[in-house]
Amino acid sequence: MVQQTVAKRRVFYIPGYDPIHPRRYRELYRKEGAAQAQISGYDLRLKPKSGGGTYGWHVHAEMGGQAVQADVEVLVWSDIVRGSMSNTIPATYAQLVRTAWEYIATGALWRLMKLRKGPVIAALYPIGALILQLLVAVLLGWAGFALVDLGRPWLGPVSTVIGAAVFGAVAWAVLRWFQAKDGKLFAYYLMHDYAYSAQFRGANPPDLEQRMSEFGKVIAEALKGDGDEILVVGHSSGAHLAVSILADMIRAGEVPKDGPKLAFLSLGQVVPMVSFLRGAYRLRADLQFLSSQEALTWVDVTAPGDGCAFALCDPVAVSGVAPADKRWPLVFSAQFTKSLSPARWKELRWKFFRLHFQYLCAFDAPLDYDYFQITAGPTLLSDRYAGRPPSGSRIDWPVSKYTSTQP
């Protein structure tokens, strides 16, 4: 038996840069929730969401002898992501040049390297991979040209024209082949991801701002309801979207003092990839504002084993905007190496993208982090981690070159 402080919860999940429809997150929750329930000895069942509105699902759970109802809703922006992903090879290489210039020429990349090497390597990977692909295409194209040129004694000057045509055809075919294999290589996908944040130097594109505003209204309406907790979960780049959505709500006075408790869980965050950019004034202002608010509880969970996240980096402090009265976030590790069995850790160790989603999955031996107990359990996030100290190895000093919160 545990003391129940939540019987009804609304969960608002904000995914990262993902072109796939949120139904993948419902299936992930169903599959991994069932696995965690079996491991931890509780009951967790999913049902379709009733009524209209945003995409989501209903969860019924019984944990520690207590029954909980939870409704999970998802910010759908997969259509915006798909629209931002160029289908042409030349446009992707143009993105490469613009994005690399934004991070390298401004010094943001060097500052990011002072935090964690993993996500910086992940950022450099698509640049290196795309350049390598182009080099392979050029070399194979040149080989085709050289073969044609062997026929110059018989073809004469026309061999140059034919060779040039073969060069172009072979090089283009090789680039198209690499693009078709991107489901395994992820070079184009990651390039689009980083380019999306860099295109406005850290500011959100207008269509995304509109979607965030609409989702914020849904959360604000839920705060007027009879739930016990309103939990906002931001994963990966969804974490910095959640920061801005929540900051806007609190500034607008949309968090009633006598309403449900407001909680924010950021998972596998990559906030510095955006907040370190020169034009991320809004995000830095929102980080500074949210970190001092009593209207919510903010817990930030990462893990050094996740090479795609800025593990144990306090997103407010490293962005150089921590106020004197800073309260949040509570930063600690999900401890993948301890909460996964040795066999499971060995299986996942080099599957970087899969590990980036481990926060949403089952653990063999969960410690004080269990995604399903947080989202569907009988305890408020504030109660669950009351008195819990932050990780001693966290990075909580200013690193960013750009710290201004106004243009």
103-159 per-position pLDDT tens digit: 999 999 999 999 988 888 888 899 999 999 999 999 999 998 888 877 766 667 777
**Does any domain span residue 403?**
no
In this predicted structure, the answer to whether residue 1 has a pLDDT above a threshold of 70 is no
Share of the chain above pLDDT 90, in %: 83
**Does any domain span residue 233?**
yes
| HEC per residue, 281-298 | HHHHHHHHHHCCCCCEEE
**Does any domain span residue 56?**
yes
Considering the domain architecture, whether residues 145 and 291 belong to the same structural domain is answered as no
Considering the domain architecture, whether residues 145 and 67 belong to the same structural domain is answered as no
Ramachandran class of 340: left when φ > 0, alpha when ψ lies in -120 to 50, beta otherwise: beta
- Rounded CA-CA distance 368/359 in Å is 12
- Reported confidence tier of residue 260, pLDDT bands at 50, 70, 90: very high
In this predicted structure, the answer to whether residue 2 has a pLDDT above a threshold of 80 is no
**Does any domain span residue 315?**
yes
Considering the domain architecture, whether residues 28 and 131 belong to the same structural domain is answered as no
Give φ, ψ of 22 to 5 degrees: -60, -5
H or E element, residue 59: strand 56-63
Residue type, 61: A
Domain that holds residue 37: 8-79+206-384
- Rounded CA-CA distance 133/114 in Å is 29
Considering the domain architecture, whether residues 139 and 105 belong to the same structural domain is answered as yes
**Does any domain span residue 92?**
yes
Share of the chain above pLDDT 70, in %: 98
- Rounded CA-CA distance 22/154 in Å is 61
Q: Look at residue 366 in the predicted model and tell me its pLDDT.
A: 93
Considering the domain architecture, whether residues 299 and 371 belong to the same structural domain is answered as yes
pLDDT digits (tens, 9 = 90+) for 171-211: 999 999 999 999 888 899 999 999 998 999 999 999 999 99
Q: What's the domain count of the chain?
A: 2
Instruction: Tell me if residue 18 falls in helix, strand or coil.
Output: coil
pLDDT digits (tens, 9 = 90+) for 375-384: 999 999 999 9
CA-derived radius of gyration, the chain: 24
Considering the domain architecture, whether residues 178 and 210 belong to the same structural domain is answered as no
**Does any domain span residue 53?**
yes
Residue whose pair of structure tokens reads 């070399």 in the numeric block: 139
pTM exceeds 0.85:
yes
Judge contact between 245 and 26, C-beta under 8 A: no
Final residue of a structural domain among 197, 223, 240:
197
Reported for 179-186, long-range contacts at CB under 8 A and 24+ positions apart, including other chains, are 179/89, 185/129, 186/125, 186/126, 186/353
CATH number of the domain at 268, please.
3.40.50
